[in-house]
């Protein structure tokens, strides 16, 4: 179960989070060898268990589950015994909730000066929005995500992936991976404040802030007529990225015999394609719509341009030959022992990493084991008394 080359191997992380962001962050660390103990209420545990069992399994693998009622004095006392042997605590309550439970950072550090507390919230631990409720779509709305135009004349719509939640999860995992070795070396912990709104803003800002001087954001050079999804004759879609001059020239030269309208050199420089982005987009829309996706697949497979079919369902994604060749999707144990597909840790390490070492735990499955460990003098830290 160990990942001996990892800086977080064996680090004990107490996970108080629920739902996607915290679970994804701690799963990344668990994949990399951390001993993540998911601390759940005995009354149903993480709500994700009931909403989507397979989704829960996909973001809680390699963890152990401890059922503990933190609303009771006994539960709080048991948790503090765990803190004494832990390296980090990750929580996703609204600001102030952990303090009211008697488990704020100042209390935790009296038990373990080296503890790292990572608070993952919507808007951070202070500021005018700190206590405002929110979810992924709200954070994206306030991060300027929908102010980034993707084509001229159209409003940006929402995406299906929980971008802000996952960005926050990745920043939390990165911050912990950096902070834990330092805390272990110095025995001096810290409180990490991760806000989903700020994580989304960090991903948006490099493209958003340069628009501040433009009266019409779609005038941005990053809004291009040759960088988009286009519909084929059979109602399917392909992605076409021709903003590099070499790709544009290769594409129009190769396709001009079938499409004479591509025989013009008027758009052969990126500057001209950007100036005439609407006309370029209309030209490509007309050309792509004239053939089926299968035709384009066969034709473009012999042309060195940046393109890809749009995979519209999970089955197509799993069947993709590159996904299969890279072993990106593996078989893992899911709800009730069923085998379900999951994406491995999306980095290949030369030293090796087995992503699917342990299935997601049942609620309270490891309660006895975890509590027994903190009573033992050789539990990997200072035994609680």
Strands 227-231 and 237-241: antiparallel
Strand, helix or coil for residue 33? coil
**Alpha-carbon gap, residue 101 to 16, rounded angstroms:** 12
Is there a contact between 93 and 16 (Cβ–Cβ < 8 Å)? yes
**Alpha-carbon gap, residue 243 to 223, rounded angstroms:** 10
**Alpha-carbon gap, residue 61 to 296, rounded angstroms:** 40
**Alpha-carbon gap, residue 270 to 255, rounded angstroms:** 19
Is there a contact between 83 and 114 (Cβ–Cβ < 8 Å)? no
Q: Give the residue among 287, 254, 281 at the shortest CA–CA distance from 267.
A: 281
- Contacts from 342-349 at CB under 8 Å and sequence distance 24+? 342/57, 342/58, 342/61, 343/58, 345/28, 345/31, 345/32, 349/5
DSSP-derived secondary structure letter, 209: G
Angle between helices 163-186 and 19-31 (to 10 degrees): 50
Q: Is the dihedral of CA 108, 111, 112, 113 positive or negative?
A: positive
**Alpha-carbon gap, residue 226 to 277, rounded angstroms:** 7
What residues form DSSP beta bridges with 228?
Answer: 240
- Across 71-103, b (16+ Cβ under 10 Å) vs e yields eeeebbebbbbbbbbbbbbbbbbbbebbeebeb
Catalytic one of 15, 31, 46, 165: 165
* Furthest CA-CA distance within the chain: 82
Is there a contact between 114 and 183 (Cβ–Cβ < 8 Å)? yes
Active site residue 165: yes
Catalogue the active-site residues: 165
């Amino acid at each position: 179960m160990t990942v001996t080359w990892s800086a977080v191997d064996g680090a004990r992380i107490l996970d108080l989070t629920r739902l996607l962001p915290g679970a994804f962050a701690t799963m990344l660390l668990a994949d990399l060898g951390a001993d993540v103990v998911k601390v759940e209420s005995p009354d149903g545990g993480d709500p994700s268990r009931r909403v989507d069992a397979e989704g829960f399994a996909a973001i809680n693998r390699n963890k152990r589950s401890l059922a503990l009622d933190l609303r009771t004095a006994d539960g709080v006392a048991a948790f503090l015994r765990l803190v004494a042997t832990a390296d980090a605590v990750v929580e996703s309550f609204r600001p102030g909730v952990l303090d009211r439970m008697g488990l704020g950072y100042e209390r935790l550090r009296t038990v373990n000066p080296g503890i790292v507390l990572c608070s993952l919230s919507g808007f951070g631990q202070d500021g005018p929005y700190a206590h405002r409720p929110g979810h992924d779509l709200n954070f994206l709305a306030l991060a300027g995500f929908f102010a980034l135009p993707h084509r001229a004349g159209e409003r940006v719509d929402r995406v299906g992936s929980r971008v802000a939640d996952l960005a926050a999860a990745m920043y939390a995992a990165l911050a912990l991976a950096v902070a834990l070795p330092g805390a272990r070396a110095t025995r001096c912990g810290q409180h990490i404040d991760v806000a989903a709104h700020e994580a989304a803003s960090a991903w948006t800002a490099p493209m958003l802030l340069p628009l501040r001087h433009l009266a019409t954001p779609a005038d941005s050079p990053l809004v291009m007529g040759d960088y988009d999804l286009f519909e084929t004759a059979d109602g399917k879609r392909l992605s076409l990225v021709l903003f590099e001059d070499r790709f544009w020239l290769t594409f129009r030269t190769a396709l001009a015999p079938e499409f004479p309208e591509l025989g013009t050199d008027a758009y052969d420089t990126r500057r001209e394609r950007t100036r005439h982005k609407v006309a370029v987009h209309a030209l490509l829309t007309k050309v792509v719509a004239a053939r089926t996706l299968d035709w384009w697949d066969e034709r473009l497979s012999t042309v060195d341009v940046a393109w890809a079919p749009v995979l519209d369902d999970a089955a197509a994604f799993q069947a993709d030959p590159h996904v299969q060749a890279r072993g990106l999707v593996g078989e893992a144990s899911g709800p009730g022992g069923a085998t379900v597909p999951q994406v491995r840790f999306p980095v290949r390490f030369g030293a090796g990493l087995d992503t699917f070492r342990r299935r997601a735990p049942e609620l309270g499955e490891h309660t006895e084991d975890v509590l027994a460990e903190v009573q033992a003098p050789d539990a990997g830290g200072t035994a609680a008394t």
